[in-house]
Structures are given as structure tokens and as C-alpha cells.
Structure 1
Amino acid sequence: MPNRITRGGRLALPVALSMALPATAQQTGAVELPPIIVQSKRNVATDSAASVTQIDGEEIADRVPDTIAEIVDSVPGVTLVNGGTPSGSGINIRGFGANGTYGTDQKVLIQIDGASVGSEELYRIGTQLYTDPALFREVEVVRGIAGTLEYGSGAVGGLVRLDTIDASDLTGGDVGYRIRQGLQYSSNGDGLTSSTTLGWQLSDRWEFLANYTWREQDDQDDGSGTTINNSASATPSSLFKIRGQITPDQSLTLTYTETSASDRDVPYDSFSTVGGAFGNVDRDIDSSTAALTWDYDPASPLVQMQVQLTYASQTIDQQYIEGSSAFAPPGGYDVVNADHDYETTKLTVRNTAQLTTGAVGHDLRTAVELSRRDRLDANSAPGGQDDRIALFAVDDMRFGSGTTLTPALRYESQRVGNDAAGDFDNDALMGALTVLQEVGGGVSVFASAAYTESLPIIDDLDPASANFPVYMETSEKARTFEVGASWDRGSLLSSGDQLEIRANAYTTALWDVTSYSGVTGVDLDGFELEASYSHGSGFYVDLNGNIQDGKARDSEELWRGIPADDLRVTLGKRWGEALDVSWEVHAAAEVEDAAVTSPGYAVHNLRATWRPELGSHGDDLEVRLAVENAFDRDYTPHLATRPAEGRNILVGLTKTF
């Protein structure tokens, strides 16, 4: 009889919270108060059938993140694996992505300005998403397959898209230059960050941006005061970007980002806090992306063309520290001494056409995409080349009845191989269909069905493996069904307030599995909730929740990638543009299975942003204060391989000159 698996206590969060709202009295002749802004931290996508969440630059800054992962952790269905450090961390979406063995399973796509990054299955090295939060103006998270077929295949968990900042974000489009200087200190680990950005509007047609960010911290302490070994980091990053309007209907954008890290005498296993059997290494990492984008937008609704060439490169050099492991042979294991070098080049030509057929309006996006991934041989993993051609079409069809129907198709053809294993040819046809129906009164219902395939990867090009060549001729298949409803209503309780709610349930099946040992299929079910409410007084509430369950088809055990059920509630108050104060509670349920029990927890985070009015440029000064894990809770999130950091007080100062 198989073991019975339970999830300890579906998330229960009886929270009694209150906030006193100060009354404001107006007196004749008094100083005019700033206008009230009806706005919560984040908008809810009530007009989309796909599960999409956008995080803008203001929220990125308010969260005072140290890593990219810490920007997206408040999105329902998104869970971090050791997200507080760039090394040994990863992003899990709906049970797929990072895990405690590999930083990725190829089922969560990550793109920086269109360049595909962090996609190699390197043993115990993490996601390899080395970049800095200060470089970005917006992050978009797509959960599930629907909505991802424009960007790649195999995204069973979803997609994270990051867009870098523009010079006009500083200059407002006015000719001249502005400099933004940011300084940040964090008490837990004595973290220091300096970010300097130059935005230069050369003319009304050309702009230039340069950023240099230095971010470092020592080892942090957990909630019990114990040092979390292997949590120190130092990551200098830079960004260069130039945008120009060549003609009234043509523009050109060139972007380059780079981040490096040098770690000395650290555990090879970046998920762990000690060297263990593998021992310690000196590790140098250099990660860079480049994107060249040409946009052509003539006065024709049938032509809105974009041609984009992207390049992503990463090198990881490692050298074993002799004597750091009592189990390793002289010189260390092969995997510990492995040097990795891989790069991805991609050319995408896409067009958006707006047209009408009868009573139906169309936004038709079509594209062809050519990509090449090169990976050098390492003494622990094969190298090779993966060439792909993809064609895709997505059509947003709007009917007069308030119905939006979006069919999507993607065809992808692949040739992957190396000298030792030979070449393998594979192809796949994938598709999705979403429908959104406006019911009335701000209520919409939606549903989607999506299918995708993960084509074979370079990592399995090993003739000595028992699974070769079956894995090189087998694609992993997945399908997801979703159904949900949303409500967007203004002036609900009082004039000018705003309520947005979105709830959706989904079921996902994965089969022909090659990514996980001892698993042939996975079945998951989940429920996600997003809501926000803002009042004319400046009071706001944000809520995000996720419940998920599932198992491997080969056993009755809980699927190893399932995150804890969780709920995140934020209560906040704004006083015009000047002050924003919020209290965030993140609660997670206990997770219990045959292998491990992860206790539940509740963590409190406090944040405040102050923009003092000091003259004509008073809005250019921002002061931020945050207290994370305010009650110093000692806990380890489910899926994490090391404890979470204890209380951390962060102070940030940003000034634009």
C-alpha cells in the first residue's frame, strides 16, 4: 500500500489587522494638500485570459530587492529557492523551474530585453540568473503555458520577462542629462549597494543611458542568530543603452548588460551552506546580454514590424580547493573542476497587423525565429550545438459581444548534437486557445487550453548514458487547462475607490518526462488569487494567494516541486506622492510528505517610501526604509535548501540631479 501523503493544514491565516487613518481638516487659507492618488502597489490583470502579472519600476524600488528573484516572489504561484543571494538561488513557478539539485529544469523561461538567459541544467549551481534589480524598469511574469508561446517552447511553469530602464525614465524626454544616484544599506550581512545611472537625451531623437551598480554583502544570519554560511556575495553590474529615432517610422535600440561574481573558497554546492563531499572551489562567473532591435511602424495598420537580434553569454570557471573535502580524490571530482561556457544567439522577425474581418477585430502577431545555443564541453557535462527554427502566430480576436478569443500556434524545428553523439532532428507543433468574456458590471470570465513541448537538450548528449539516445529523440509534453473570473469595479464603497479581483484554477499534466530521475509523468492542480483595493483616502490593500497540489504518476508522493500554499496580504496608506507606508504579511502552510516536513510560518515586512518636497526638484529625492522579517522569525521555506535570513533593516536613498 503506497504511503499516504498529506499537506499539513491547508493555509489558514486568521489575521486581525487594523490601521488608523488620520482625519484631515481643511481650513481656509491653509496650504493646499497634494492630490490623492487612488493606487495600490500593483494592478491586477482583469482584462487578460492568460495569467499575467506586471511589476513596474516603482514597486521594484519599494521592495528594495537584492536579487531579481526577490522582485517576483510576491506573484501568486511563484516560489523562490534561496532567493536572497544570486548564487544558489532560483525561481519556481507552479511547481516547475528551480529545485534543490538543478537551478532550472528548462520549464521556466527567463528573458532580458528578449535575450534568453539562465537556461542550463548545471548540477547544484542554481539558476545562473546573474543580473541586478537596479537595471530594470518592469518585470512581467506569465504563469502557465498560455501566453508564453510567443517567447519559446516548453514553458510549463511560465515565463519571466525583464525590461531594462531607459534614459527617458530619468530625463522625461527633455534634451539634456540627468544623473540618478542610489545608495542602500542592509543590516543583516552589512550589505552595501551603490547604483549610478546617467540618462542623456542627446536630442529629441536620440537618448543614451549608462548604469554601474555595485552590490555586496557578508554572510547573513537566520532568525535564531546563526550564520548562514555561503550567503555572502559581491556582484558588480553595468548597463549601456542607446535608442534613436532614425526616421519618423523607424527606431533603433542597442542594449548591453553585464554582471560578474568572484567567489573564493566557497562550497561547490551553491545550494548548501557547507562544502560537504564536494568540497570548496574558487568560482568566477561572468554573464552578459546584448540586444539590437529595429522597429518599423509606418502609417499602415497591417505593418508594425520588429527585428531583434539578441545574444546571451555566460562563463563559469571553477577550481577545487585542495583538501577541502575528506571524500574527494586528489584534485577533486570532475564536476567540481568543471568550467562552463555557453551562449545563445537569437534572431526574431515579428509583425503585428491590425485588421477587421466582418464584425471581428484582429491584433495578429506573426514571427519567425532563428536561434543557436553553443555550449563547450566540460569534464562533467557534454557540450554541443542546438539550432532551432520557430514560427508562431497569435491572434487577439475581438467580437462585438465583449468576447476576446486568442488562438496561438508555434512550430519549432531542432537539430541538436556534438561530434561524439552525432546530430538529432526533432520538431513539435504547439498551441493554445484562450477566451475572455465580459459579462457586465466589470465582471469577466475566462478559460484557456494550452499544449507545449520541451525539445531535447544539450545536457543529454552523452553516448555513455543509459538513456542515450532515447532522450535525444523524446520531447517532454505538457498541457494546461485554466478557468477563472475577474471583477474590476470603481466607486464600489465610496466615490473614486477601485477594486480588482482575479481568481483562476488550473490543472497541468506533464508526460514523457526526461528531466527528472524515476519520474515519467506529473499531474498538478492549483488555485491562484490576486486582488487589490484602493480608497480615495489613500488606503489600499493587496492580496495574493496560491494553493497547489499534485503528485508524480509513478508514486503517491507529493510532487517534489510543489511549493507551500501561501497567502500574502499588504495593508498600506499613501499621503499623496509624498509618503507611502505599508505592512505586508506573508503566511505559508506546513508541507508534509514522506521525505520531509516543512513547518508553516508567517513573516511580517514593513516598508515606507518618503519623497520630501525640498524645492522645484523635491520629487527627485526618495528615501526608503524597510524591515524584513520584522519579528526575526526562524524558518526555512519549503523547497529552500538553507534557512531564510532573519530580521533585516534596509535603508535606501535615491537622488536625481
Structure 2
Amino acid sequence: MAIARSRHFRHWGLSVLALVAAAPGVFAPAAFAQDLSEEALAQDLSDDGLVPGDPSAVFLGTLQLGESKREIQTDTAVPLTTIDEEEIEDRQANTVAELIDTVPGVTLVNGSTPQGSGINIRGYGANSVFGTDNKVLVQIDGANTQAEEIYRVGNQLFTDPALYKQVTVLRGTVGSFEYGSGVIGGVVLMDTKDASDFTGGEIGWRLNQTLQASSNGPGFVSSSIVAWQPTENLEFLFNYTYRRQGDQTDGMGDRIADSAFTLPSYVLKGKYTFGQNRDQSLTFVYNDSTSAERDVPYDSFSVEDFGNVDRDVHTKMTGLRYQYGAFGNDLVNVDVNLTYSEQTIDSSYVEGSYPGDPYWITDLLNADQRYRTTRLVAKNTSYFTTGGISHELRAGIDISQRQRDDAYSAPGGTDKRVAIFAVDEIRMGNFTLTPAFRWEHQDLKGTSYVADGETLPYDGSYTNTAPMGGISARYAFDNGFAIFASAAYTESMPPIDDLNNEVYATMPERSRTWEAGFSFSRMDLFSDGDALRFKVNAYKSLLWDVTTYTSSTRYSLDKVATEGVEIEASYAHGSGFYTDVNANIANGTETDARGTETPWRGEPPHSAQVTVGKRFDKTWDVSWEMVANGSVDDRNDVHTPGFGVNNFRVTYKPQDGLLEGTEVRLGVENIFDKAYQTALSTRMSPGRTVKLTVSKLF
């Protein structure tokens, strides 16, 4: 299936909105458990002071109504998608990026391997030259993990999917002000697993062992988790994951060069709960992952021949978090999170691997990169009522320091920032208004940099200050429909990379985004026990004062305009049948200083994903998935054909007997062994891959 490409975005958007409105039976929410009764739901709602049928009961996004692969967040104006632990395990992903590739607006750059891969959201993030453009934030347990703009090297998100119990994707700007500035693409938030996720809060030991084998590579994964809860208030977790893969082949049987990797990683985590009412907790986490490559191209995107290197990447993150929810006082809910993340990339040139005279390139290939980020975020959430208006006010301070050591062609320096933020979710009956504000101050200071083998002093110092913010509004009708809209403005502070350009170092990039859409959520719509949900969101963004990119005409870039429609929909029947639909329609242009307009280099393809599945009690889950991309002609007139790829998944979970606690998953990706390449990638995608996973909780 190929989706036709069109520059007439407005006609596309109106057609999609009309289709969803006219055919609600086609676009529909994730499955609910077969044993969920109307009486049980009514009891759960009444326990929370809610009445079945009341619109506030319909839009509780945190209420988990039975088992579901993905629950659509219809209760918020923010474009938000959450992938829970069950879906993480179900997808059998090699990389964190592969976990979120079905989220509308998310496109992967070489996503099946850690090297040379990245995450692109709404056209921003990773591209074929740099692993990041600093317009997509990636955070693990609150720690920033994305790298600086390293030339021809991927974003180095070398963490294993098995370590996480939840991944949340916030698209666009309006929901980003608690997490950082300059977000145009979005935010990826990852939460590591806790010991109590395995012990169930009971005192004792639990061991979870997972083994996975894949045919294309071939690949092997072992994930071992030890959870220990010595007392009710104290818990510890240790996870070690070893992931290995050989070079994959594409749908034509050709080897995908340098797609092999070895990726060991581990997590240590402890939590202590205390206080007279157990209303305080202290959590420590350490996350460590490494990757070793030998005699591989320096250019991890495989675009240019710079010669080969031996490269070792080590990423680690440490966090200490204090939480206090004052018993009987809704005004005090304190969350203080101190994190430290560090990434080192040691690279050594392989003699004789560059075909020409290597005098100018060996410094680049021998450059060692090191980044260290310390961040303290302290915030408080208050719940209160003024008259008939309820508030959820989240306010705090964000202090960070990012250090980069000197490396060839990249100046070393420090990036210190202080920010204050506030987000107030104001509810007035069926109407919700959420203003958000962030003020940020930056001190950018350089040390030195290396050019042509010579270390040059660079002691430039610059300051930048910017207010930014946004507002969203949502109104919920009594029939399950809701409408929403938002507007947001942000500024992207100059990175350390801009220290050697005085103009760029004092000129933050600026952007604004407008969004609007509608959602629907209803239970027992066509029959008892069924559920229908969908959410449609349209956006339009403009970026100006552009310093991150250069134009294809080698003139300075004046502005970047992007717009799109994102669709999430699902339907579930009480019999266990379910279907999910995700779609993305996007267009973008970049304009240089002369006024010449060309397609935006990060523009993702039109895409659609459809899943149809059936649950048989709690034991079996069988699903088929189709992923389709439209064709793309980029700014260099390079044509990337559209494609349709089919995947199949089966999950078996025995509920009793000797196999109780065992989970068996069989996945077949790219069933028909299709040869294809996604629009933003520089490599062919893998051909048919069979994955078998066995997990046991002891």
C-alpha cells in the first residue's frame, strides 16, 4: 500500500478529518479485557467519587480498563502517546527508537541498529548529517541523554529497551515546558523498571529471565532481572542485558553494512519509602551501557567515505530522587531529581582505511568525544480549588550544566542554564484551560578547540535569556466528543557547537506552533463491553532565526515551515477483538535568504499503521500489523518509493500449572521479505526477521 504524496496539505487534512468523522467504526480503541464487567467499572468509578456516564469519568486517561496494547490519551489537549511495559515486550525491539516508530509523527533514521540511528519527530531531531539538532529531548528517569551535534555520528542512544517499563512521547511544543526549551519536534521520556514491579510489593526475591533469538543477523538477547524487597519500605533491582546481532540482510538478500553490534547494559536501582504515613521516598538509579565497534566506517550514516575507525561508546546515568506527597495536604507534592549523565566516544583511525591522503582526516577520526550533564529539577504539584474552579499547578526550577571536552572541529566548553517553569491545569466543569510558562537563562563559555592539528584558545563567553510559553484549551461534550486547541512559543538556545560563531552564539532560534483537533471516547457504543476511541490533531509550526542548518543553495536558511495531521484510533470488543490505527500526514518547506523554497530536508513521509488482533482470555494474543509509507521526493530530487510492510505477532501466557509466569512471544517482521528504505534513512531496512522470546518470572 502506498500513500499518494501531495503538497496540498489542507485538502489532505480536511479529507482525513471528514473520513474519521464519517466512519467511526473504522477508526477505533485498544482492547479491553474480556472479564471487565459493567458493574465492576461502575464500582471503580464510584470509589473515586465519579458517576458512570459523567463526562469526567469518560476521560480518565490514567484509568486502565483491562488489557490494551496502547491506550489513546483522549483526556488531554497535548499530543501524547504512552507505550507501556506490555507493548514494549510485545514489540521485541532492538533499540529504544524501534519502540516508538508506530507513534504518529515519529520517523526513524536507521532505527534497527544503535549505530547511526536516531529519532525524528515532526521533521526534527536526527538527520543524515547529525544525530541530533537539539529540537527533540530524550530523558531517562529525568536525565537528559541526547548527544551534541556530532558530525556524521548518530545520537548514541545506547540503552536497551528491556530496561524500561514505560516510554512516553510528547509531540510538538505545548507539553514540553516542564522538560526543557527549544522543543519543536517533541520529548521522549523513559522510565526504568522498579523492583516492586516484579515483587508486587511483597517481601522476598523474584527473578525474571528473558531469552530472545532472531533470524536476521542472527541476533541473541539475554535479560536478567533480580528484584529484592527485604522490607515493606525497601526495594532493590538489578538488571543485566546482553544484546548481540550480526550484520542483517535486506529484502533482496544483500548485507546491510555495519549493522552488527554488541550491546551490554545494566541498571542498579533502589528505593526507600519512609515517613509517618509512608508519604516520602528516596530513589537511586544507575544506568550503564556500552558499545564496541571495530574497523567500521567513521560515518555511521554510510553517506561519505572518511575511512574506518575502532569506536567505543560508553553511556552512563546516575540519579537521586526525593518525593514527598504530604499526607492530608494537597498543596504539597514535592519532587526533587538530581541526575548526572556522561557519554564518552573513543575513536581510533584504522591505518590504511582512507583511500586518499589522510593528513587532513586523521584528526577527525582520532577525536575522542566526552559530554557530561548535571541537572537538578525541583518542582511541586498543588491541587486546590478557587470557587468552582479546580487547579493542578506544577511549578519548579531547572538547573543544569553541560560540559564538552575539546575535540577536533568541535570547541570545548560549558553550557550552564537556570530555568523556572509553571503549568496550571485549570478545570471549569467540562472546560480545561492550561497555561504554561518557562523562563530560561544561559551562560555559554568556551575553552579551546582543535583545527588542522593545532589547539587554538577560545575563551568566548555569551549569555542568552528567553521567556517562552503556551496555552491549551479543551472542552468535553457529554456525548464523548471533545475539541481542543493550543498555541506555543519556544526558543532553542545555542549549543556548545556554536561557540566559534559569535553571531550564532547570541541568536537563539525561535519557533511557534499552532494545534487543533478533536477526540472521542465511548464505552458500550455498539455492544456491551466494546470501546471506541480516536484522536485527531493538526499542527502548524514555523522556525526562524535559523542557525542549525545550511540551505541546499549554500545561502543562509531563513525559515522552516512544517504542518501535519496525526491520527490515533482504536476499537475493542468484549469478545477480545481489537484494532488500532495510527496515521501521519506531514509537509514541510525550507526557505533560504534569497526566498528560494525547497522541500524541508527532515520532512517525514505520509504514513499509516493498522493492527488487527484477537485476545483469547488472558492466555493468547494474536495480531497482524501493516505499516505503509508514501513516496517522497526530497530537496535534492532524490525519490524514495513508498512501501507496505506486514508484521505478525503471537503471545502465549499460561495462567496456571508449571508454566504459570512464563511468557512466549513469536514475531515475524517484514513477512513478505520486502526490500525498502524509509525516507530519512541512509540504509536499506531489514528483510524478513523471525524473533522468538521466552520469559519466566521465578
TM-score normalized with structure 1 length? 0.93
- In the alignment, does 2:629 pair up with 1:592? no
Deviations 1:335-373 (A, max 9, x none): 211100011000111101111111110110110111000
Report the counterpart of residue 22 of structure 1 in structure 2: none
- In the alignment, does 2:647 pair up with 1:601? no
Work out whether residues 566 and 585 of structure 2, in 8 Å CA contact, stay in contact via their aligned partners in 1: yes
Q: Structure 2 residue aligned with 1:130, among 153, 158, 162? A: 158
Work out whether residues 38 and 496 of structure 1, in 8 Å CA contact, stay in contact via their aligned partners in 2: no
- In the alignment, does 2:474 pair up with 1:444? no
- Distance verdict in 2 for CA 1:435–1:372, change over 3 Å: same
Report the counterpart of residue 628 of structure 1 in structure 2: 669
- In the alignment, does 2:572 pair up with 1:564? no
After TM superposition, the structure 1 = structure 2 runs for residues 15-54 of structure 1, keeping only pairs within 5 Å, are: 35=35, 39-54=67-82
Deviations 1:142-177 (A, max 9, x none): 000011100000110000000000101111011001
Q: Secondary structure at the match of 1:196?
A: strand
RMSD (Å) for aligned C-alpha atoms: 1.9
Report the counterpart of residue 484 of structure 1 in structure 2: 517
Q: How far, CA to CA, are the matches of 1:159 and 1:327 in structure 2?
A: 42
- In the alignment, does 2:471 pair up with 1:433? yes
Q: Secondary structure at the match of 1:386?
A: strand
Report the counterpart of residue 254 of structure 2 in structure 1: 226
What letter matches 1:375 in structure 2? Answer: R
Q: CA deviation at 1:385?
A: 0.4
Report the counterpart of residue 355 of structure 1 in structure 2: 384
What percent of counterpart residues are identical?
Answer: 49
After TM superposition, the structure 1 = structure 2 runs for residues 245-324 of structure 1, keeping only pairs within 5 Å, are: 245-247=273-275, 248-272=278-302, 276-299=304-327, 300-324=329-353
Q: How far, CA to CA, are the matches of 2:509 and 2:390 in structure 1?
A: 35
Q: How far, CA to CA, are the matches of 1:34 and 1:129 in structure 2?
A: 38
After TM superposition, the structure 1 = structure 2 runs for residues 80-91 of structure 1, keeping only pairs within 5 Å, are: 80-91=108-119
Q: How far, CA to CA, are the matches of 1:55 and 1:442 in structure 2?
A: 23
Report the counterpart of residue 30 of structure 1 in structure 2: none
Q: Secondary structure at the match of 2:599?
A: coil
What letter matches 1:263 in structure 2? Answer: E
Deviations 1:535-560 (A, max 9, x none): 01100000000000110022321100
Report the counterpart of residue 582 of structure 1 in structure 2: 623
- In the alignment, does 2:130 pair up with 1:72? no
Work out whether residues 144 and 158 of structure 1, in 8 Å CA contact, stay in contact via their aligned partners in 2: yes
What letter matches 2:642 in structure 1? Answer: G
Work out whether residues 279 and 328 of structure 1, in 8 Å CA contact, stay in contact via their aligned partners in 2: no
Q: Secondary structure at the match of 2:358?
A: coil
Q: How far, CA to CA, are the matches of 2:514 and 2:364 in structure 1?
A: 40
Q: Structure 1 residue aligned with 2:130, among 95, 99, 102? A: 102
Q: CA deviation at 1:613?
A: 3.5
Deviations 1:234-279 (A, max 9, x none): 0000000000112222110001100001100001011118xx5310
What letter matches 1:441 in structure 2? Answer: N
Q: How far, CA to CA, are the matches of 1:175 and 1:618 in structure 2?
A: 23
Tell me, which stretches of 5 or more residues in structure 1 are unaligned?
Answer: 15-32, 463-467
What letter matches 2:530 in structure 1? Answer: D
Work out whether residues 487 and 514 of structure 2, in 8 Å CA contact, stay in contact via their aligned partners in 1: yes
Q: Secondary structure at the match of 2:89?
A: helix
After TM superposition, the structure 1 = structure 2 runs for residues 536-547 of structure 1, keeping only pairs within 5 Å, are: 536-547=574-585
- In the alignment, does 2:529 pair up with 1:496? yes
Work out whether residues 629 and 643 of structure 2, in 8 Å CA contact, stay in contact via their aligned partners in 1: yes
Q: Secondary structure at the match of 2:598?
A: coil
Q: How far, CA to CA, are the matches of 1:489 and 1:334 in structure 2?
A: 61
Q: How far, CA to CA, are the matches of 1:328 and 1:632 in structure 2?
A: 41
Q: Secondary structure at the match of 1:335?
A: helix
Q: Secondary structure at the match of 1:477?
A: strand
Work out whether residues 601 and 635 of structure 2, in 8 Å CA contact, stay in contact via their aligned partners in 1: no
Report the counterpart of residue 424 of structure 1 in structure 2: 462
What letter matches 1:413 in structure 2? Answer: H
Q: How far, CA to CA, are the matches of 1:249 and 1:333 in structure 2?
A: 57
Q: CA deviation at 1:42?
A: 0.6
Q: How far, CA to CA, are the matches of 1:328 and 1:137 in structure 2?
A: 49
What letter matches 1:334 in structure 2? Answer: D
Q: Secondary structure at the match of 1:652?
A: strand
Work out whether residues 322 and 332 of structure 1, in 8 Å CA contact, stay in contact via their aligned partners in 2: no
Tell me, which stretches of 5 or more residues in structure 2 are unaligned?
Answer: 20-32, 37-64, 448-457, 552-556
What letter matches 1:516 in structure 2? Answer: Y
Report the counterpart of residue 470 of structure 1 in structure 2: 503
Q: Secondary structure at the match of 1:470?
A: helix
Q: CA deviation at 1:75?
A: 0.2
What letter matches 1:461 in structure 2? Answer: L
Instruction: Decide which moves more: 447-456 or 513-522.
Output: 513-522
What letter matches 2:639 in structure 1? Answer: T
Instruction: Decide which moves more: 415-424 or 260-269.
Output: 415-424
Q: Secondary structure at the match of 1:134?
A: helix
What letter matches 1:117 in structure 2? Answer: T
Report the counterpart of residue 382 of structure 1 in structure 2: 411
Q: How far, CA to CA, are the matches of 1:541 and 1:441 in structure 2?
A: 22
Deviations 1:480-537 (A, max 9, x none): 0000000001111110100010001110000001100132210111000000110011
Report the counterpart of residue 394 of structure 1 in structure 2: 423
Work out whether residues 38 and 535 of structure 1, in 8 Å CA contact, stay in contact via their aligned partners in 2: no
What letter matches 1:437 in structure 2? Answer: Y
Deviations 1:618-654 (A, max 9, x none): 4410000000000000011100000000000000000
Work out whether residues 179 and 656 of structure 1, in 8 Å CA contact, stay in contact via their aligned partners in 2: yes
What letter matches 2:675 in structure 1? Answer: D
- Distance verdict in 2 for CA 1:457–1:594, change over 3 Å: closer
Work out whether residues 610 and 627 of structure 2, in 8 Å CA contact, stay in contact via their aligned partners in 1: yes
Work out whether residues 34 and 576 of structure 2, in 8 Å CA contact, stay in contact via their aligned partners in 1: no
What letter matches 2:512 in structure 1? Answer: R
What letter matches 2:417 in structure 1? Answer: R
Q: Structure 2 residue aligned with 1:192, among 208, 216, 220? A: 220
Work out whether residues 113 and 162 of structure 1, in 8 Å CA contact, stay in contact via their aligned partners in 2: yes
Deviations 1:84-123 (A, max 9, x none): 0011000000000000000000000000000001131001
Structure with more of its chain in helix, by fraction: 2
Q: How far, CA to CA, are the matches of 2:428 and 2:399 in structure 1?
A: 34
Work out whether residues 40 and 532 of structure 1, in 8 Å CA contact, stay in contact via their aligned partners in 2: no
What letter matches 2:589 in structure 1? Answer: K
TM-score normalized with structure 2 length? 0.88
- In the alignment, does 2:358 pair up with 1:329? yes
Report the counterpart of residue 338 of structure 1 in structure 2: 367
Work out whether residues 318 and 338 of structure 1, in 8 Å CA contact, stay in contact via their aligned partners in 2: yes
Q: How far, CA to CA, are the matches of 2:249 and 2:316 in structure 1?
A: 31
- In the alignment, does 2:693 pair up with 1:652? yes
- Distance verdict in 2 for CA 1:8–1:180, change over 3 Å: farther
Q: CA deviation at 1:295?
A: 0.6
Q: How far, CA to CA, are the matches of 1:583 and 1:34 in structure 2?
A: 20
Report the counterpart of residue 209 of structure 2 in structure 1: 181
Work out whether residues 651 and 665 of structure 2, in 8 Å CA contact, stay in contact via their aligned partners in 1: yes
Instruction: Decide which moves more: 618-627 or 162-171.
Output: 618-627
- Distance verdict in 2 for CA 1:422–1:528, change over 3 Å: same
Q: Secondary structure at the match of 2:174?
A: coil
Q: CA deviation at 1:38?
A: 5.7
After TM superposition, the structure 1 = structure 2 runs for residues 363-378 of structure 1, keeping only pairs within 5 Å, are: 363-378=392-407
Instruction: Decide which moves more: 593-602 or 68-77.
Output: 593-602
Report the counterpart of residue 27 of structure 1 in structure 2: none
